[in-house]
Structure 1
Amino acid sequence: EWLLTNSRGGYSSSTVIGCNTRRYHGMLTGSLDPPVNRIMALSQCMEMVIARKGVYKLSTFDFGDTFSPEGYVNITGFRQDSGVHFDYTLGSIKLTKSVYLMRDSDTVVMVYHFKKIKEPVELTLRPLVGLRDFHSLQRSSASLSMKNVGNAVLIGHDTPDSPELCLNCPNSFFEKTRNGGSTLIIEKTWKEARISSKTSGAPVYSSHR
């Protein structure tokens, strides 16, 4: 297992193959009243790289009797310093995914750095938003609302004073889909994508000032 903390009760934690196996595992657990009242905001991301020669899964999920998808088979290295770093080999493509937790802030940054790219590739991320008490488990889909703010999107429950998760990627914007979801659009071809997520309590913009 690995663990990153932010000195205010928040943390990011999972396993060395990127598969959550405990209820306390997640990309971002924030504290609404530091260091207590902790919320599992971002559980994990479904990650996929689409190239001309194939589709490569990065993420791994534990369903008790099976793992699916099996993104761990593409991991060739893991290390931890101020963040955690996963090295992937995807055919001829080399990719390093890094996770950092910002000090004194409920903000996690996920960096995808591509190496040896000889052709255009598409990186698809589908965030699995929890926004639940970090002691509890969520066994069904919760009703969540989403609204665009500039090049970011705010996700929260349809209840007053609900905490929210802000998803943001520089040089990109979120485009609403027909089913009410959101697609992240990268405006240019980048060798590196930085995705950041942060939690905020009510009012909505308290952590963005």
Structure 2
Amino acid sequence: EMIKRTKENISNLYESFFSEKYKGRLNSFIYDFTEKLNNDFTLFNETKNIELELLLKNIDYVVGNPPYVTLYGRRDRKKNELQRINYLSQYRQFPDSLKNGKINYVMLFLEHGLDYLKKNGKLSFIIDISFFETAYKYTRKYLLENTKIITIENNISNFDGVTSGQLIIKIENNFDKNNIVKVKNFFTEEIQE
């Protein structure tokens, strides 16, 4: 029953995001989405990695709400510093010269979600409004240079227990150097290009 309701909720969410009914089959799996495949730090056995690798570049839609977890720069000498350094080396959005600075799981989920999309596949995430802050500059640059950003709907604050603003970003896995990004204010319905 829970699986059936989850599939119905995902279908409804898809229709809300993309203004069309989902006609495909819903598959699911659970794994640590921050870890790239074929990595020494993976938590999964080889069989599971092979199954996941088959999905790379084969998914039509990725929809989600990534966790908002931040790993801080070199000043953070705690246990997560090795994890942060590992992410800097795994993800293409971070330049080799970057040694310090905040990394948020949202950054990782955006890039890794794109890894699974086939050409022209779509990704839609609900993420924190901090996407517009300096810490995300490499993520925004990566998205602009590698994808087609369809829309960004900002000023969404209708979630219980969430104190910061949210936005919905919709991306297509298809680069278009002449793409015009539209930013929609959720409250006023105003659209800016």
Same fold (TM over 0.5): no
> Between Structure 1 and Structure 2, which shows a larger proportion of strand residues?
1
> Between Structure 1 and Structure 2, which shows a larger proportion of helix residues?
2
TM tier, shorter chain? under 0.3
TM-score, normalised to structure 1's length? 0.24
